[in-house]
């Protein structure tokens, strides 16, 4: 399974890539990478039709464990999916911009 770093995610976002955040809704509401779509891992299989099948799909979670599971699932379905190492926690710690519902 492919993993990318935060710099690759930042570049992909600039290029308009699809990024899915698989953290639960409450985590997503607290802090998130701007421009990501929330499909919680607990709902991922049921909502798989919301995931594009073309192009690279970037998957992010808090630190990288759940995103790796989701990316592996997508790859098994023939999707070019990558997990983002460091996740949202690393993104926020690095000083990159975040969004919040708070």
Catalytic residues: 61
Pick from 38, 87, 32: nearest CA to 65: 87
């Amino acid at each position: 399974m492919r993993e990318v770093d935060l710099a690759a995610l930042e570049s992909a976002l600039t290029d308009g890539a699809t990024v899915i955040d698989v953290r639960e809704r409450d985590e997503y509401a607290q802090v998130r990478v701007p421009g990501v779509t929330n499909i919680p891992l607990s709902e991922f299989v049921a909502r798989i039709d919301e995931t594009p099948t073309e192009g690279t799909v970037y998957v992010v979670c808090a630190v990288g464990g759940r995103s790796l599971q989701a990316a592996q699932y997508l790859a098994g379905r023939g999707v070019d999916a990558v997990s983002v190492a460091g996740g949202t926690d690393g993104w926020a710690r690095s000083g990159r911009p975040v969004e919040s519902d708070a």
